[in-house]
Structure 1
């Protein structure tokens, strides 16, 4: 008699190769609005922030969900922004956050990347996409609280913005 028994395979989710079509099918299934930009990248807007969903790697095995905060800060805030991002990364596993100078402004980004070399089940893919979105949005909410927008206008929330580089 064994202490461990092999579970029945019936009902277990099966891994399938990662593909952009599967990511797009998940977004469609949730009823979320998304689009394809001029570079062919899959992305959309959540609470005014832009998120992209990349399938990368030599075998198209890496899923990356990358977000960009809907605002930027003056370049004078760069050192403080780097410290904020570094502090966040020391305390949290997801998302990875970073900032960079873009001209005279500082932009904030979030990123969740997962190697799916052995494929991914539908429920796992859903969890990874949602993790990238929701943890990114949580960080962006913290930025909104720390750096209130004096010209707050939510009229462009949930729209796809193609001209914001990620």
Structure 2
């Protein structure tokens, strides 16, 4: 049976490494505005269609690109079952983005979508651009779906 190579034995790549600078360059190529994230050194924040997004380089080897968006409405805690139902249905029907609900405080929930890509062997500009635009479009599509499925009138919700 073939053995898996150890992490240190992975082949070297000639493709450029993933860096926060390359992510910000890609965002600028598309004309997107962003700001540094004061809480995390390897991330920037941006808004798309009023939804807050974070772009982060993470992982043991700084090779993971995490793109996370949050629905701009924070449903009341009493809407948790509805939100979980919408997220579960989405996750069963689609491979990505991963979507989930998280309690933000005693009264409100956050509804999130995220995509994580492993670029341990490097990433070229076209692939990075495609990953960013695809993640944004699919996460925003999910948020539009949530807006159709979750009624803001069912409980306390804040924007």
Task: Give TM class, smaller chain.
Answer: 0.7 to 0.9
Match of 1:143 in 2: 146
Match of 1:111 in 2: 114
Match of 1:57 in 2: 59
Tell me the alpha carbon deviations over residues 85-129 of structure 1, each in whole angstroms, 9 at most, x when there is no partner. 111101011110000111211110001001111001110011111
2:104 to 99, 102, 118: 102
Paired with 2:92 and 2:85, the residues of 1 have a C-alpha distance of 11
Count of aligned pairs: 137
**1:26 counterpart = 2:6:** no
**1:82 counterpart = 2:94:** no
C-alpha distance 146-80 of structure 1, shift in aligned 2 (>3 A): closer
Paired with 1:148 and 1:84, the residues of 2 have a C-alpha distance of 12
Larger RCO, structures 1/2 (Cα 8 Å, 6+ apart): 1
Paired with 2:141 and 2:33, the residues of 1 have a C-alpha distance of 20
The answer on whether the counterparts of 2:83 and 2:150 sit within 8 Å (CA) in structure 1 is no
Q: Could you tell me the TM-score, scaled by structure 2's length?
A: 0.81
Unaligned runs of 5+ in 2: 1-13, 154-159
Unaligned runs of 5+ in 1: 1-13, 151-166
How much does 1:148 deviate? 5.2
Paired with 1:84 and 1:146, the residues of 2 have a C-alpha distance of 7
Match of 1:8 in 2: none
**1:91 counterpart = 2:115:** no
Paired with 1:81 and 1:146, the residues of 2 have a C-alpha distance of 9
2:133 to 124, 130, 142: 130
Q: Could you tell me the TM-score, scaled by structure 1's length?
A: 0.78
Paired with 1:145 and 1:79, the residues of 2 have a C-alpha distance of 16
